[in-house]
Structure 1
Amino acid sequence: MKKGNISIFIPHLGCPQQCSFCNQKTITGNQKQPTCDDVICAVETALRKKGYEYEIAFFGGSFTAIDREYMLSLLKAAYTYVADGRVKGIRISTRPDCIDNEILDILKEYGVTSIELGAQSMDDEVLKANLRGHTAQDVENASRLIKSYGFELGLQMMTGLYLDTDEKAVETAKRIIALQPSTVRIYPTVVLKGTMLARLYEDEVFKPQTVDDAANLCTRLVPMFEDAGIKVIRLGLHASDDIKKNAVAGAYHESFGEIVKSRYMLNRILKYKPGDYEIMVNPRSVSQLKGQQKRNIYFLMEEGYNIKVTVTDKVAQNDLKIIRR
C-alpha cells in the first residue's frame, strides 16, 4: 500500500517573528487559516482514493506555537480519523524552541506520530543573521526530547542563506546526522518578494545561490544523509505559481530534485577517465541518468565518453553500475 500525506497548511501561524527568507503565504499558496471543517473536508476527500495509507500533516507554520485552543481543535478533528484507524497518524512541523514536555504530552495524546523541526542551519551566526530566533543547541535539545518520547523525528535544513557557505552547510549536515533523524528535507533558499533577503539582494548585500550552485552542493549533502541511513524526502520547494510569481532570485526550479539526482549520476561517471563504458541503470532512473533533454549524454560525448546504456532491474533505483568496455 502506498503512503500519502493529507497536507493541511497553516501559513505563518504561531511564528514569533518573520525569518529573513519567509513568506509562508507564498510558499504554501494559502491565504487563510484552516478550520476544523477544512481538516474534515481534506481528510474525507483524500480517503475517497483507495490504496493509500494516509497520515494527516499540519505544515507551514509553527504548529506547537499557535493558540492552544486552536491547536487542540485541529488535533481533535484529525484524531477522530486516527482513533478509528482510517488514518495512520498525524505529522506536524514546528520550531525547535517551541518543544517541551507539556507539548509532547499533548501531541502524544492526540495521535501525533512524527514531528519535523525547521532547523535550517546548525551555525549560530547564520541563524542569528536570518532572524531565526533560536540556536543550534535548541535544535539538539528538542531533537533529543522528541526522540525520547518515541516520535519519528524529521529535520529540515536550508542552503544558501545569508552568511551561509557550502562549508557551513556540510557542517550543518554533519550535526544533523549526529542527531539521527528518520528523515531530512533540504530546501535551497529562494528569495521571495517582501522578505528581508529580498531587500538584502536588492541592496547587493546578499548574493543568492543559483540552481547550479545549490544542485552541486546537494550532490555532496544527499550521499552524506543516505550513507547514514537517513532518508531525504524532499529536495527544493514544491512547484507553485505563487512562488514563480514572487521569486526574485535564488535556487528555485520545479524539478530541482531531479536535477540533483541527475547531477549526482553524472558526477559518478566523471570519476572515470574518458573511454567506452556500459552504464547499467534501473528503469526508474533512466531519465535521471540522461538528464533533462539528454544533457548528461551530450556532455559525456563532448568529453570523450562513449556510453552504452543498459536498463535493468538488477541495479537499485538511483544507483549505477559502470563497466569499462
Structure 2
Amino acid sequence: MADISFTHPEPPPASSRVWPVFLPFAGCPYRCLFCAQDKQTGQGTAELASIFRDLELDLEQARVAGRGPYELAFYGGTFTALPVPWPERFLGLAVRFREQGLVTRVRCSTRPDCVDAALLSRLKAQGLDMVELGVQSFDDAILRASGRGYDGVTARRGCMAVQESGMGLGIQLLPGLPGDRPGVFQEDARLAAALKPEVARLYPCLVIRGTPLAAMWEQGDYAPWTLDRTREELALGLLSLWDTGVRVIRLGLPPEGTLAEHILAGPWHPALGQSVRGLALLEIVRTQVENAGFTPTAMDVPRRYQGELFGHANELAEKYAALGLGAGAVRYVDSTVFTVR
C-alpha cells in the first residue's frame, strides 16, 4: 500500500493589500430586489465630491506616513456608469498616487451591461487595471425574476469584453436569488470557471430589511437557501473554480457597517467562509481516499489548513473519523503537500 500525496487545488493568495473605496448606489441604473449597500457599508447614497475629498486626504496621509503600497478598489456602485467626469477624476487621483508609489493597481466593480470595448479601452488608458462584474447569475430566469435588467448572454459578453480589453476580470455570483432551481448555481459556477477570471466572489442571497426582496419574503413569495444547503453548494462551486485556477476571494457578505442587525432571513453566518472551505477540503480528501482504495490510518496536513480541516467548531470531525482519520490520526506539518497513509 503506497502513501497518497496531493496538494490543495486553491491558487495562492495575492500579496497586495486592498484599500476599498465605497460608492453606495453611485451610477446604478437599477435598485435590485436584494440590494442593501446602505446597510452593508453603513453609508447612504454616495456624495461623490465628499468621497473624493476624503479619499485624497486619506491617501496623502498614508503617503506621508510611509504606509502602503495598496491596490485601490472602487466598490459598491456601478463605477463605469458614474456621471462624467467622476470615473476620470477618481482614476486621475489613483494615477497621481501611483506615481508616488502608494498605489500599485486599481480595480472597480460594475455591471456586465455597463461595459463595452470603447469604454473599457478608455478607462484602461486612464489607469484602470481590473474590473469585477456583478454577474450574480448567467441564468435568464433568475436574472429576470431578480430585476437585473440583462440576460445571460449579456453577462457572458460583459465578461469577455473585460478580458479582451487586457484588464483583469473578477466575477461575482449571488446564488439563491428568486427564480433559483436545483443545479443552477453549479452551472453558474462552471460557466464562471470556464471564463477563467482572475478572482471570484460568492455571495449567497440574504433577505435584508428595507429591500424589495424583504417584502417578497414577508409575503411568502421567496424562500432563501438554508445554511446547510449554502455550505454544500458553495463548497462544490469552490471546487469548480479552483479547478481552473480561479482565486475565490470572498464567501458571503462581510459583517461591515450595520448589515448584521438588518438581516431578516437567509444563510448568514460569521464563519461561513471557514465552514465552506472546510467542507470543500473534506471533499478533496474523500476523493483522494476513495481513488486510493484503502482505509487510511494517518494523514499529514500542511499547517496552513489547520484552522479549516475539521471545519468551524469541529463540525467535520465525525466525517473524517468515518474515513479513518480521527483527530489523533492527523499531524500538521510545515509542507505544502498532504500525505495520507
TM-score (norm 2): 0.86
Q: Which of 33, 36, 41 pairs up with 2:57?
A: 41
Q: Which of 233, 241, 244 pairs up with 1:228?
A: 244
Please tell me whether the aligned partners of residues 282 and 313 of structure 1 are also in contact (alpha carbons under 8 angstroms). yes
1:111 maps onto 2:127 in alignment: yes
Task: Output the CA distance in 2 between the equivalents of 1:253 and 1:242.
Answer: 15
Q: Which of 28, 31, 34 pairs up with 1:18?
A: 31
1:309 maps onto 2:323 in alignment: no
Please tell me whether the aligned partners of residues 41 and 257 of structure 2 are also in contact (alpha carbons under 8 angstroms). no
RMSD of aligned Cα (Å): 2.4
Q: Which has the higher strand share?
A: 1
1:129 maps onto 2:145 in alignment: yes
Task: Output the CA distance in 2 between the equivalents of 1:94 and 1:29.
Answer: 20
Deviation at 1:95?
Answer: 0.6
CA shift digits 1:131-179 (9 cap, x unpaired):
0111111122222222122101111111111111340111111222222
Task: Output the CA distance in 1 between the equivalents of 2:27 and 2:267.
Answer: 27
Change in Cα spacing, 1:302 to 1:231, as seen in structure 2 (3 Å) is: closer
Please tell me whether the aligned partners of residues 20 and 195 of structure 1 are also in contact (alpha carbons under 8 angstroms). yes
Deviation at 1:111?
Answer: 0.8
SS in 2 for 1:159: coil
Change in Cα spacing, 1:178 to 1:276, as seen in structure 2 (3 Å) is: closer
Please tell me whether the aligned partners of residues 302 and 336 of structure 2 are also in contact (alpha carbons under 8 angstroms). yes
Change in Cα spacing, 1:45 to 1:304, as seen in structure 2 (3 Å) is: same
Pairing 1:1-325 to 2, within 5 Å after superposition:
2-31=15-44, 32-34=46-48, 35-47=51-63, 52-269=68-285, 277-298=297-318, 300-301=320-321, 306-307=326-327, 308-316=329-337, 320-323=338-341
SS in 2 for 1:165: coil
Task: Output the CA distance in 2 between the equivalents of 1:16 and 1:203.
Answer: 26
The code of the aligned residue for 1:285 comes to Y
CA shift digits 1:188-246 (9 cap, x unpaired):
11111111221111111211012221111011111111111111111111122511111
Task: Output the CA distance in 2 between the equivalents of 1:127 and 1:140.
Answer: 13
CA shift digits 1:72-126 (9 cap, x unpaired):
2222222211233331121011011111233213311221100111100000110
Task: Output the CA distance in 2 between the equivalents of 1:299 and 1:129.
Answer: 38
Q: What count of residue pairs does the alignment treat as equivalent?
A: 320
Deviation at 1:294?
Answer: 2.5
Please tell me whether the aligned partners of residues 189 and 237 of structure 2 are also in contact (alpha carbons under 8 angstroms). yes
Greater RCO between the two (CA within 8 Å, min separation 6)?
2
Deviation at 1:300?
Answer: 4.3
Give 5+ residue unaligned stretches, structure 2. 1-13
Give 5+ residue unaligned stretches, structure 1. none
Task: Output the CA distance in 1 between the equivalents of 2:136 and 2:192.
Answer: 10
Change in Cα spacing, 1:239 to 1:144, as seen in structure 2 (3 Å) is: same
CA shift digits 1:257-296 (9 cap, x unpaired):
1111112233445555896621221112112113233232
Task: Output the CA distance in 2 between the equivalents of 1:242 and 1:218.
Answer: 25
Please tell me whether the aligned partners of residues 315 and 321 of structure 1 are also in contact (alpha carbons under 8 angstroms). no
TM-score (norm 1): 0.90
More displaced, 164-173 or 11-20? Answer: 164-173
Task: Output the CA distance in 2 between the equivalents of 1:313 and 1:51.
Answer: 31
Please tell me whether the aligned partners of residues 3 and 52 of structure 1 are also in contact (alpha carbons under 8 angstroms). no
More displaced, 303-312 or 258-267? Answer: 303-312
SS in 2 for 1:90: strand
SS in 2 for 1:13: coil
Change in Cα spacing, 1:182 to 1:92, as seen in structure 2 (3 Å) is: same
Deviation at 1:45?
Answer: 4.8
Change in Cα spacing, 1:300 to 1:151, as seen in structure 2 (3 Å) is: closer
Task: Output the CA distance in 2 between the equivalents of 1:120 and 1:287.
Answer: 29
Please tell me whether the aligned partners of residues 56 and 91 of structure 1 are also in contact (alpha carbons under 8 angstroms). yes
